[in-house]
């Protein structure tokens, strides 16, 4: 059984140059004959099917059309072309506490919000104590909503919302708000819905949750459907952009970045340029240039250079800094006793990191080439390059180690290995 | 038919929204209810003083005549004014959840109806004070009021939808309501209008509605059958037209806000 079938879906927004919001402006605008808007294609030809009981994650960068897609499925926005077919009762969780009236009491708001989410008074009567219990607001049930803290309001909304019993759930980053405790509660509820075999469409930036909960994923980029399929495969595609469209997009993106680098050249680059670094590339496990990598995946840093003079044994170095400018990795050809020889015959040097030990974050890279005795700087590019690390496991800290946990005890078969 | 059955599924939400709005109106002050009655009563007082002493309008039970006119006109102006904001005033509900958007307009009209019913209770007290007892003709009062409600709902649907796209609709409408108050026979009887202009004033469905409400409650005169048909037809046409405008504009609501 298919719960959601999206077929050839397009969505175009009109972005008015000047928003004509009044009849007066409409009339004057028409008289002067201005074309009042620009078209913006938010979704291009989206096709996918969600089977009953399946959880599908929608991933993609900001502005890739994820939320628009969710709103069209929820029937809040209408498609420009194509169709969405829904089997079953649908509940969108796009925002918590929609329709809350600050001037009414917590209890009254439970009934109103419940009605908005499709619950009848009887259903709420039966669950009222459970809702108040869950949100911890028993003693405040007759207080006006506006007098409750925002945390209490969110808990109240959440406790009410999860009483709904839809066939299909649409979730948009609801899990991203609230403290750790609250997030854990959200995850528990998510798990419960999964167990109950609800159909879920889940929009998130948190690849970790998508991997944990969703068997399938849909990847959007600039409104286009890049891929739809098994979650791990799609996350790989998201991180490494393994498809032709992606490389085009990346090339387009990287050009202005080079411009930025040039502007800052005075500050962040120095040296006499006897050996000149012409380019630095980050290569991923698919042999493609990239700026996003997964933890524990390989990273190849390729430093291209040129030199007019004959220089013997220059030393190439790389430093990886984190956001706070701590050195995370620092190495050069000298510390490993690599003699580079007559450099004029070569074009590039590669540093191959087999298994990135870094946890999620942005890292900045400095690249330098200096003389054999380390006294003369030929070219030094200070933190001019950067890459992103994405980690879908849940470890803390800056670095990732290879490790295993062991429990030592009385077991006569010896230590138990996990 | 499909649309109506679909809306019927949302009756619970519609009522809930209407009642919570109604509560809100009166919640912020203990005297909220009395304040809301003060406005029509003050207006009644001013108009009564002006028109009985200076203009010399000659109407039997003029106080009740005037009050009935003001209350039934207020239902129209309040219902449409509240509905104008019913969609643009609730961006959360329009952009974050889905239910038929008509629900918002219908619930605003229901809130206005509830407020008007309260005023009619006060009207009943006034009848006791002036010792006017209604007769059996009062049975025509509910159906006529229902027709007025349909008329208001039709106007509201169209206006609320247009107001999403053209925000000056509410100002234009305020002027229309102001003019309408004097163009309808609220403070004067139709009989005081020169014969040759009567047909113009009779085109306004509110003229007949107000007269029929007065007749049934104050003067014990049953409505003329033809008038009943006229207001029902007018209300249904306005309802159909308003709803068509609404359906036409509804798909873009979430984007336009």
The rounded percent of chain B whose pLDDT value lies above 90 is 53
- Asked whether residue A54 is assigned to any structural domain, the reply reads yes
What pLDDT shows up at residue A237? Answer: 82
What pLDDT shows up at residue B88? Answer: 92
Give residue-wise pLDDT tens across range B12-36: 899 999 998 888 887 666 666 777 7
The residues of A whose Cβ lies within 8 A of any Cβ of B are 13, 21-24, 26, 71, 74-78, 90, 92, 94-95, 98-99, 101, 103-104, 108, 111-112, 115-118, 120-121
Indicate the residue among A164, A198, A216 that finishes a domain: A164
Task: Assess whether A63 and A122 both reside in one domain.
Answer: no
Which of A76, A95, A120 comes nearest B98 by C-beta? Answer: A76
Give residue-wise pLDDT tens across range B38-69: 877 887 788 878 877 776 677 888 889 988 99
Indicate the residue among A164, A183, A204 that finishes a domain: A164
> What are the backbone angles phi and psi of residue A38, rounded to the nearest 5°?
-115, 145
Give residue-wise pLDDT tens across range B134-161: 899 999 999 999 999 999 999 999 999 9
Cα-atom radius of gyration of chain A, to the nearest Å? 28
Closest-CA distance of chain A to residue B195, Å:
37
- Asked whether residue A417 is assigned to any structural domain, the reply reads no
Task: Assess whether A183 and A113 both reside in one domain.
Answer: no
- Asked whether residue A407 is assigned to any structural domain, the reply reads no
Which domain, by its residues, includes A187? 1-89+166-240
Do residues A92 and B96 lie in contact, with contact meaning Cβ atoms separated by under 8 Å?
A: yes
Residues of chain A falling short of pLDDT 50: 244-266
Task: Assess whether A301 and A385 both reside in one domain.
Answer: yes
CA distance A225 to A45: 7
Task: Assess whether A143 and A222 both reside in one domain.
Answer: no
Give the residue from A183, A211, A185, A167 showing the smallest Cα distance to A57. A211
Contacts of B236 (CB under 8 A, 6+ apart): B150, B154
Q: Is B169 on the interface with A (CB under 8 A)?
A: yes
Closest-CA distance of chain B to residue A164, Å:
13
Q: Is B24 on the interface with A (CB under 8 A)?
A: yes
Which of B23, B92, B167 comes nearest A22 by C-beta? Answer: B167
Counting every residue written for chain B, the total comes to 257
Task: Assess whether A204 and A84 both reside in one domain.
Answer: yes
Task: Assess whether A322 and A384 both reside in one domain.
Answer: yes
> What are the backbone angles phi and psi of residue A154, rounded to the nearest 5°?
-65, -45
Give residue-wise pLDDT tens across range B215-232: 999 999 989 999 999 999
Which of A74, A99, A108 comes nearest B92 by C-beta? Answer: A99
Indicate the residue among A218, A240, A262 that finishes a domain: A240
What pLDDT shows up at residue A152? Answer: 85
Interface confidence: ipTM more than 0.85:
no
- Asked whether residue A415 is assigned to any structural domain, the reply reads no
Task: Assess whether A77 and A108 both reside in one domain.
Answer: no
What pLDDT shows up at residue A259? Answer: 39
Give the residue from B235, B242, B236 showing the smallest Cα distance to B83. B242
Contacts of A166 (CB under 8 A, 6+ apart): A88, A89, A90, A91, A118, A198
What does the block give as tokens for B112?
């206005």
User: What total of structural domains would you count in chain A?
Assistant: 3
Task: Assess whether A37 and A179 both reside in one domain.
Answer: yes
Q: Is B255 on the interface with A (CB under 8 A)?
A: yes
Contact at CB, A101 and B13, closer than 8 angstroms: no
CATH code of A386's domain? 2.70.50.60
Tokens 């200096």: give the residue. A370
CA distance A363 to B71: 71
Give the residue from A205, A198, A226 showing the smallest Cα distance to A50. A198
What pLDDT shows up at residue A69? Answer: 92
Cα-atom radius of gyration of chain B, to the nearest Å? 19
Tokens 């291009």: give the residue. A44
What pLDDT shows up at residue A149? Answer: 87
Q: In the predicted model, what is the mean pLDDT of residues B235-253?
A: 95
What pLDDT shows up at residue A262? Answer: 41
What is the full DSSP assignment across B109-149? HHHHHHHHHHHHHHHHHHHHHTT----GGGGGHHHHHHHHH
Which of B93, B95, B172 comes nearest A116 by C-beta? Answer: B93
Strand, helix or coil at A96?
A: coil
């Amino acid at each position: 059984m298919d719960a959601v079938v999206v077929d050839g879906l397009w969505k175009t927004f009109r972005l008015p140059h000047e928003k004509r919001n009044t009849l007066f402006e409409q009339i004057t605008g028409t008289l002067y004959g201005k074309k009042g808007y620009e078209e913006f294609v938010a979704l291009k030809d989206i096709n996918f099917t969600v089977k009953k009981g399946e959880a599908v994650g929608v991933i993609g960068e900001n502005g890739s059309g994820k939320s628009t897609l969710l709103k069209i499925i929820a029937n809040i926005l209408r498609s420009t072309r194509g169709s969405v077919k829904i089997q079953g009762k649908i509940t969108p969780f796009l925002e918590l506490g929609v329709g809350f009236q600050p001037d009414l009491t917590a209890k009254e708001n439970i009934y109103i919000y419940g009605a908005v989410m499709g619950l009848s008074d009887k259903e709420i009567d039966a669950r009222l104590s459970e809702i108040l219990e869950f949100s911890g607001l028993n003693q405040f049930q007759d207080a006006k909503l506006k007098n409750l803290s925002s945390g209490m309001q969110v808990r109240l909304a959440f406790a009410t919302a999860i009483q709904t019993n839809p066939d299909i759930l649409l979730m948009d980053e609801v899990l991203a708000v609230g403290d750790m405790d609250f997030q854990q509660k959200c995850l528990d509820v998510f798990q419960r819905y999964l167990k109950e075999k609800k159909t879920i469409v889940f929009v998130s930036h948190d690849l970790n949750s998508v991997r944990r909960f969703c068997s399938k994923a849909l990847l959007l980029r600039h409104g286009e459907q890049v891929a739809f399929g098994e979650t791990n495969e799609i996350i790989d595609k998201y991180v490494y952009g393994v498809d032709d469209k992606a490389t085009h997009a990346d090339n387009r993106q990287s050009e202005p970045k080079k411009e930025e680098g040039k502007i800052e050249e005075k500050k962040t680059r120095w040296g006499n340029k006897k050996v000149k670094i012409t380019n630095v590339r980050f290569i991923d496990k698919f042999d493609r240039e990239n700026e996003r990598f997964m933890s524990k995946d390989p990273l190849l840093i390729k430093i291209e250079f040129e030199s007019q003079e004959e220089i013997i044994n220059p030393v190439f170095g790389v430093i990886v800094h984190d956001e706070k400018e701590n050195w995370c990795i620092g190495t050069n050809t000298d510390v490993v006793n690599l003699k580079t020889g007559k450099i004029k015959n070569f074009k590039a040097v590669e540093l191959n990191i087999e298994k990135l030990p870094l946890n999620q974050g942005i890292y900045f890279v400095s690249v330098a080439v200096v003389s054999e005795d380390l006294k003369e700087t030929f070219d030094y590019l200070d933190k001019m390059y950067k890459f992103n690390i994405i980690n879908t496991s849940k470890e803390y800290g800056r670095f990732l180690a290879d490790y295993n946990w062991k429990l030592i005890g009385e077991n006569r078969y010896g230590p138990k290995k996990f | 038919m499909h649309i109506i059955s679909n809306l019927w599924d949302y009756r619970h939400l519609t009522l809930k929204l209407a009642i919570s709005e109604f509560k809100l109106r009166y919640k912020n002050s203990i005297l909220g209810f009395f304040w809301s009655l003060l406005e029509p009563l003050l207006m009644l007082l001013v108009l009564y003083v002006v028109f009985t002493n200076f203009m010399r309008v000659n109407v039997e039970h003029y106080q009740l005549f005037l009050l009935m006119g003001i209350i039934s006109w207020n239902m129209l102006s309040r219902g449409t004014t509240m509905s104008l904001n019913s969609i643009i005033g609730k961006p959360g509900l329009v952009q974050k959840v889905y239910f038929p958007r008509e629900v918002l307009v219908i619930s605003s009209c229901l809130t206005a109806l509830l407020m008007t019913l309260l005023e009619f209770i006060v009207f009943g007290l006034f009848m006791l004070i002036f010792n006017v007892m209604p007769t059996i003709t009062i049975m025509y009062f509910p159906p006529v009021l229902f027709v007025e409600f349909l008329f208001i709902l039709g106007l509201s649907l169209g206006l609320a939808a247009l107001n999403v796209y053209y925000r000056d609709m509410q100002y234009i409408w305020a002027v229309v309501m102001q003019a309408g108050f004097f163009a309808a026979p609220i403070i004067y009887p139709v009989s005081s209008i020169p014969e040759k202009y009567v047909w113009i004033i009779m085109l306004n469905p509110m003229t007949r509605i107000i007269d029929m409400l007065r007749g049934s409650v104050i003067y014990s005169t049953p409505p003329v059958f033809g008038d009943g048909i006229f207001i029902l037809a007018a209300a249904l046409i306005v309802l159909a037209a308003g709803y068509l405008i609404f359906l036409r504009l509804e798909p873009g609501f979430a984007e336009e806000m």
